[in-house]
Structure 1
């Protein structure tokens, strides 16, 4: 990361960003959820900017965001795009977007909650975005499988190929991961709530970290995965931290009032998938962190702790031991 910061600083000094050249500072933004993209903060003593880079495989997602950024900013509080970067500033990352920095904190559920939920509901029914993104013929079950089951199986390829680097996972548990994913897929296929066409416009990565708030308002960031899918996935991802708290009935009522009973019903399986994600996906992050020595220790510590906690919760909540 240090070498990349040096490269990025040199780029920023010649890119006419209206920053004090001698006072430019680069800060890597750690994403505990993986290493698909690279994000940095660029600043001097007066201004701050956010830059996000993608490799060639994920470049189309960032380009889609750039294509729709004005509409997203005008309607959904997305950050202001300052520049597209069409050069390899960082090795293997061939494209990037530079944004105005939003001064705010991660949303914790208190500030702007009704406006945020209302804005998300507006997004789900946005006919303009639905038209320009294109509607594939798929069911809510297909959308669920695309979002979670396929990812679990890709993660398990990474995990199975490097089991030796995961000594805190018992050998028989690895095979159980495959069974858990298969069972979840079967539950989705059998649920009547997942059989209708999936025609909702979704952010598709709507966790708390991707909503920033301050005293004046909020900003929804990371629109890379914007697509047509299932509104229940967005609500479940955003409200996951409150599922096992006394506040959940209040949040459930809000979603039911905005989006309807079917969305709430589908959320129950998305919550199960979220927990299984914390069992499986973090292990893939643990393995991949070996290639990133500067963040390896904290990534692996977080991944191990998340996995072990989620494993116990999964066993308790869904009544099946992964060791049987």
Structure 2
């Protein structure tokens, strides 16, 4: 009996990853709106499914190893905790980033929030979760981290791979005003995937991140609808400096969250440090304290300055 020949798998190359991204962009911006866009809310899920089908088909056509390109392995509790804590740290950073951008693009952010809230008004929470959290967390991760990040591995430099994949991820969201936050989010997702080699963790991060939007829409959807129908919404477009200051104060916890989250994320990594803070490297602790201290002091200054500036307006 002849031995079965083992299938020879090929490693994805950067040009293949960019080609898949190009096809996905054409599908997202030109084809999907005309086809699945006519199917309403379910069309959103089918649209995301298109990314999944495209990704799997591309790897199969190019004779890649599906298990290596889309590595889903059993997660550990500590690594899951690390993902959650890293998400908390990134959310603190992105909150500051978003508030600062809202100073320059107030109408864009307001209209985007209202449009999203109105677009999903009356949608059951379970369906809303499938549309905004579950399907993007799986399908977009399969495309961006599974295919694209893996195709960039020949570049060798981890940070170059993260920067390129993050920028492409940011551009895919189709908003220049939100480009920076989504790019930073893409870099965080790529980092988690490269560090763990497990697509489950980046999917989990993506799900948690998008689920926060589901909670906001479900809880504050009526408020957005009210603002859209009244002049009050126009006033809310202006972001008080004190609010930014408060956000910067809270972001002082971000360095610790990112550091601890990263440590827990590597709980299953052989050769990684055994203790949270290396004894012979006091610079790590000093750096964390210094960055957090600068953020805290800057936030307090902005908050006090903002309150002083807003004082005359409060007493009118």
TM-score (ref. length: structure 1): 0.29
Return the structure number with greater strand share.
1
Return the structure number with greater helix share.
2
TM-score (ref. length: structure 2): 0.30
By relative contact order (CA 8 Å, sep 6+), the higher-ranking structure is 2
